[in-house]
Chains A and B, each alone.
Chain A
Amino acid sequence: MTTNPGFLTQVRQEIAEMEQIEAALHREHGLGTTSAQVRDEFSVLLRERTRELAELADAGAADWARLDQLRAGRLAAVKAAALGVLEGILLRAHPLYADVTLAAERVLDDLVDRTGVRRDVLLSVASTERFERTVGIIRMRFPDVTVWGLPILAHELGHMVASTLPAPGQSSARPVEEYVSTEAEMEAATTGADPTQARHRLHELFADVYATYALGPAYPLAVLTLRARPDRFDDATPTHPSWTRRMWTMVEATREMGLLAASPLVAQAYRRDANVLVLPRWFEVHGERQLDERAQRTTRRQAKALVALLDRNAPPRLRYDGTIDADGLSQRLAAGSEENAAPGAVLNAAWRWRTANPQADPETTRRVSTVAVASLRTVPA
């Protein structure tokens, strides 16, 4: 037993906090549609941290350095995640956020179900959309209460899918991770890029392709309109490819979906999504500049490979149904009719409306969003 009561007190305080978090999460009934599996994973994580703290307390010496390490590297992330979850719970109960939170949950539940990964995600808020790996939290952007940002959640979910999607018949295989690693190494070898950065960027591209594959044009239209920065279209960061590269990857992915389609009608629908809906909008803000030949080849190759990964490893129903009449749905939403339709169909209809009506006044845009959100929170009978 350590003789330093100050050290022991601080360790015990950390243990008490871990237990408190676990109790709070288990008591909380506002976790929405989150499955018991996610709660259990959180519990396991908390107990693991408690065990590490208990070992430290039992070590016999006041190892302050180790305590600092644990706090910074292990405990802070758990606490942040717990805080995020609790924030999400509080927001879910708040009248202003309840609708959009329920809508977001329905979008994510639908995507998780169609992806077949058998893992739900926790939903919370942050200053911008992001995915936190610790316990699988997707953060919505605060204070957005409209439908417009919801497609971007699919991108965040894509990060989780990349690390959990198995290969058919091989539950432990992670084909997306394998592809990303191999491709990043190859890119590093051929272009001299930093392999870690290349891996991060490929992860982002996969998340973009996943969102496009599962949600259709709603995703590229949403990121292009709400997130892409015209002054930084061609700039990559250590973690993210340039917007130009990302947009072309989404366009090429949609075209590739057309090439994979068995029916010419379905193929035509995807081609039109890419060439008639998304590309003109991109050219509008970016100008009709093409990628250079080499980048074009790489983009096509990677988009093709990423779509193939989803095509081979995810259930066919993950693929966005391009033959749905999004125009009709869009007109009905604009007319104020709440629609009992699949989440992907509602998001596409809403974004088609917004793309077709760029000059709509804020009040009308808000009204369409409200109808779309209300449609999303309606769980089909």
Chain B
Amino acid sequence: MPPPPDLLVIRLDELQEDIEEVQQVVAKAETRHERLKVLREAGASAADRLRTARKEAHDAALDAEGTEFHDALESLSVSLKDVAAQIRQINETVADFDRAMIHLKEAEDINNRCGQILDDVRDIRSKVRGGELSYADAWAAFDDLSDTRCRTLFSDYVDLLGGLTLRDTGLDDRISELTDALLDELGTELLALPARPADAAPVEGAPSLGSLIKLWFPEWTIWGVPLFGYDAGLAWVGRGTPLAAQLLAAEPAGSRGCLVADAYATYALGPAYASAAILLRMRTPAAGDPGASPAEAARAHVILRILRALGESGTFGAVVGIVEECWHEAVRQRGGQIEPANRDELDRFADRAVSTLDNVTTLRRFDSQLWDREARSVLDLLRIADSGGPPPETVRGLLNAAWAARLEKFDNRAYVNAIGTKAKRLWTPRHGGAGEKRPGSSIHPPRKPGYGTTFLPR
């Protein structure tokens, strides 16, 4: 009687197959650019041929003898014109797809991870066969591999493919593209990818998508886009420049880079970041609430202090004032403390952050002057119903204008939705093929959980 099948071997084979499947599908994902290229070239060729055909039909109509023949050629010419218009439309759609698609340097990252797991699978198998590993230890190693590293890999893989599909098809309402453009303005090489909601995704091992930031569903709205300034801040910290190191060293104990990322985002994005972070995300500290987060009070304090240093007057100051009043009122309602216990320390940090970030040559402070230059005219456009207008100079100007407009009638949901829609409509990508212009990079250091992954270290 043959020995019963070795269950461990079956499981290891199965795992190996799954991993190889991931490798294949990720490789295939990159071929979508090739397929699109074929489509693009076919569209261009068809347009050329049609142009020639139309010219020939037109010339023939001029030379035609006999009314019937002439009319037939005229009719053909009109039909060809219609077809040309349809092909133009198809080509424009293809161009939209092309713009939304990104090239994945992450494929390499996932391949590497797959390769490491496959090595481990082979290692377990050979060690069991060689008697170097007991079955009990081999099962424990398998469980570890399967339950942690593989599970994370598969989740990322699903996120990656799902996100790519959503981006490619434009189902994310082009928010990923808008976020990419913002990240580009902030000087990072990060790219946004639609993903599952935070609670449903694995929390551990979050940095698995390399330079891709997860844009949680259903927050694919313009209002959450400024939150990615935080991820840009984390990326800056991760670069380990002397200035970043200096600022990290000045951070109050236990902040784990969080306040530096907040400072970076606030400095670079101005009131839009404060509006999104404080009004949409932060949990107000409450008296006697074990879940209350004093860290959030500290973060709000730092964000608001930095904004005051960037400008007190005009609409800039007014937006900050409204956010501040709103936050303080909510804290009061929950019986919490508005002033964080370590206020002086936080003030020193905030002041230090502004002076340090002033020295980062690649970063421009979004102060009240820049607000006036980049957001004021956009705000005027947003206020007028059904108005078109020139595209905003920058995404951060657009986001600031949109948030300012929202705060003007924050309790009118229809108005807020209309502002969001209009703001998205005003934005047009400045270059075709975001992926070609800014390929994702896998050279970034491991990321700490950010707004796109988990908002706060708890």
Contacts and interface: CB of A to CB of B under 8 A. Distances in A.
B311 interface: yes
12 contacts: A264-B410, A265-B315, A265-B319, A323-B318, A325-B313, A325-B371, A327-B312, A327-B313, A327-B316, A327-B368, A328-B311, A328-B314
A328 B325 CA distance: 23
Interface string A252-268: 00000000000111101
A272 B317 contact: yes
B426 interface: no
Interface in B125-168: none
Nearest to A267: B318
Interface residues on B, range: 20 to 34
A194 B278 CA distance: 55
A322 B321 CA distance: 13
B367 interface: yes
B372 interface: yes
B329 interface: no
Q: Which of B313, B372, B407 has the most CB of A within 10 A?
A: B313
Contact of A324 (B314, B325, B410): B314
Interface in A329-343: 330-332
A352 B408 CA distance: 26
A32 B368 CA distance: 36
A18 interface: no
Given A264-B318, A265-B319, A327-B317, 13 more contacts: A264-B322, A264-B408, A264-B410, A268-B317, A268-B321, A272-B321, A276-B312, A322-B318, A324-B314, A325-B372, A328-B311, A331-B369, A352-B313
Contact of A328 (B369, B407, B409, B410): B369
Given A264-B322, A268-B321, A268-B322, A324 B407 contact: no
B311 to A, nearest CB: 5
B404 interface: yes
A269 B372 contact: no
Given A325-B368, A328-B369, A271 B321 contact: yes
A57 interface: no
Contacts of A264: 318, 322, 407-410
A328 B367 contact: yes
Contact of A325 (B316, B408, B409): B316
Contacts of B371: 325
A347 B261 CA distance: 38
The SS class assigned to the A binding surface is helix
Interface string B283-327: 000000000000000000000000000011111111101100100
B314 A325 contact: yes
A265 B271 CA distance: 13
Given A264-B407, A272-B312, A325 B369 contact: yes
B311 A269 contact: no
Contacts of A328: 311, 313-314, 367-369, 372
A326 B318 contact: no
A324 B369 CA distance: 10
Which 9 residue pairs across A and B have the least CB separation, nearest first?
A328-B369, A325-B314, A268-B318, A327-B313, A325-B372, A326-B313, A269-B318, A323-B315, A265-B318
A240 B316 CA distance: 37
Contacts of A323: 314-315, 318
Contacts of B322: 264-265, 268
A269 B320 CA distance: 10
A330 B314 CA distance: 12
A138 to B, nearest CB: 28
Interface in A220-268: 263-266, 268
Nearest to B316: A325
B318 A327 contact: no
B159 to A, nearest CB: 38
A206 to B, nearest CB: 27
Contact of B408 (A265, A276, A322, A326): A265
Nearest to B314: A325
Q: Which of B312, B319, B367, B408 has the most CB of A within 10 A?
A: B312
Contacts of A272: 312-313, 317-318, 321
Contacts of B372: 324-325, 328
B328 to A, nearest CB: 13
A330 B372 CA distance: 13
Contacts of B321: 268-269, 271-272
A167 B228 CA distance: 53
Contacts of A352: 313
